[in-house]
Each structure stands twice: as structure tokens, then as C-alpha cells.
Amino acid sequence: MTTVAPTPTPATAPAPAARPTYRVSGPRVLRAEWAKLWSLRSTWITLGLALLFVVAFGLIASAHYKSNITSGRHLDRDFADATAVNLSLFGTSFGQLALGVLGVLVTAGEYSTGMIRSTLAAVPRRLPVLWSKAGVYGVVALLVGTVGAFVAFLIGSGIVSGTPAALSLSDAGVLRSLLGAGLYLGLVAVIGTALGALLRSVAGGISVLVGALMLVPGLISLLPTSWQDNISPYLPSIAGESMFALHHDANTLTPGAGLLVFLGWTLLALAGAAYRLVRTDA
């Protein structure tokens, strides 16, 4: 009698585990841009410099004012009507450059390295990338600027204590001015981010930023006085300064009007960046 040995059945290989499917969502894009922002050494250095500029130059201006007062020397015209607020916020014009330049690097830097292609491949709709970059960095710059303004004022007000410029946080308009300075610096950062995405060049973005904030107001000052009075208040830097100025005259905008004008410039820069991002290849 012949017996047939049973044929062994081969073991079934385990089915590979299904890879999870990740969907592009707003929170995930925000987290990605947050991680990219803090992974750069330039972020830490530039934010530190911006904070240093705001605080250091504010304290230097306060100390210079106190020195002139105590020594009895004649005050410069710029310091004649100084207050603890505008003395402590003297460094804002220097801090805006550091924050604006970093904003340009946040977007234009990816174009210079070619990393933007990977970013847009992961987020095909493109615009969430721009909104996330501007939002993440704008909030960071807002916090850095606000902290710098408050630190400069709290120390600077102690320096000028007992002088005609002395003020405290409880005085009218002081808190609004300090918060306005932080908001201004945050919006400058957003404008820098938009210019980097619009021009796709680090050098070009920085040049336009510096020209708009610092060179154009100087050129406008060469025009006849009647023209200056009609044009100057609506320039980005002048409108921004009215957001945190403690006192206003007939030729300057109110804080609310200055905020609206500066928001208009910010939205214009973002709109240009969004149009080019959607319409042209990386």
C-alpha cells in the first residue's frame, strides 16, 4: 500500500501594514513652518539682535536725555518735548530692520536654496504656505517687539524719573503706545515675509524693505511743505509711527488711522505675493 505524504502549505506572509495617509491641513502647515523657522540659526541671531536694538537704543536715548537734563546743557530740538515713551521706543526704527530682514529671509531664503519646490510639492495649493509663514513669523515678531518695548520703557522710565519726561504705565496713552509699537514691528515682519515671496530674492526684498521704510521718507522731505503734509502721513513708516506715538499734531494720523493705513500696506504686499505665488512657478 502506497501512502502519499501531505504537501506542506507555505506560510502566508503577513500583509504589509497600510501606510497612514496624511492630509494637508492648516494646523499641519503651521507646525511645519514653525519647525522650519526655529531650525535656522539666523532666526535666533536676528531675533536676539532685534530685541537688543529695541532695548539698547531706547536706554541710550533715555540716558542721553537724563545726562543733558542733570548737567543743564541745552537740549536738542528732538529731545525738547521728549517723554519716557518716545525715548524708550527710540530703538524701534532699528529693530524694524532686523525683523523685516528676517521676514525676507523666511520666504526668499527658500527660493535661493531651492527648498521651496519641496514645500510646494507637499502643499500643492500654495497659498496656505504663504499665510502660514506670514502668520507664524508675524506672531513671533509681535511678541519680540512687545517684550522689547515694555522692557525698554520699564528701565528707561526709571532712568528719566524726576525729569519732565517721566511717565508711568498708568499714564494716559502709555500702554497703548507700547502695544502699538509691538504691533507695528509684527506687521513689519509680515511685510518682509511678503516682499521675500513677491521678489524671490533676498537682496531685492531687503532693498525694497529698507527703501520703503527709511529712504522714501527722506526723499519726500525734499518736496515742498504742502506736498509733504499731504503725502508723508500715508507712507508706511510714518503711518506706522503714528500707531505708537504718544502725542499727535495736525499733520499726523491718529493711532487708529495709522493702523488702518499700515494694514493697507501690509495687505497690499501680501496680495502681490499671493498673486505671484499662484500664477508663476517656483
What does the pLDDT average to over 210-239?
88
Residue 47 vs residues 34, 111, 236: alpha-carbon distances, Å: 15, 22, 22
How far apart (Å, rounded) are the C-alpha atoms in residues 225 and 255?
A: 23
How far apart (Å, rounded) are the C-alpha atoms in residues 20 and 18?
A: 6
Please check whether residue 14 lies inside any domain of the structure.
no
Please check whether residue 7 lies inside any domain of the structure.
no
Please check whether residue 1 lies inside any domain of the structure.
no
pLDDT confidence of residue 72: 65
pLDDT, tens digit, 9 for 90 and up, residues 66-124: 888 777 666 666 666 788 999 999 999 999 999 999 999 999 998 888 888 888 888 88
Please check whether residue 6 lies inside any domain of the structure.
no
Tell me the H-state helices in the chain: 26-38, 41-71, 77-80, 84-88, 92-113, 115-122, 127-159, 174-199, 202-210, 216-220, 225-231, 236-244, 255-279
Whether residue 71 contacts residue 65, with contact meaning beta carbons closer than 8 Å, is answered with: no
Residue 153 vs residues 2, 58, 175, 236: alpha-carbon distances, Å: 103, 8, 10, 24
pTM for the whole structure: 0.88
CB-based contacts of 7, cutoff 8 Å, min separation 6: none
pLDDT, tens digit, 9 for 90 and up, residues 172-207: 889 999 999 999 999 999 999 999 999 999 999 999
How far apart (Å, rounded) are the C-alpha atoms in residues 67 and 76?
A: 12
Amino acid at 260: L
Please check whether residue 38 lies inside any domain of the structure.
yes
Domain that holds residue 75: 26-279
Please check whether residue 18 lies inside any domain of the structure.
no
Number of domains into which the chain is organized:
1
pLDDT confidence of residue 258: 93
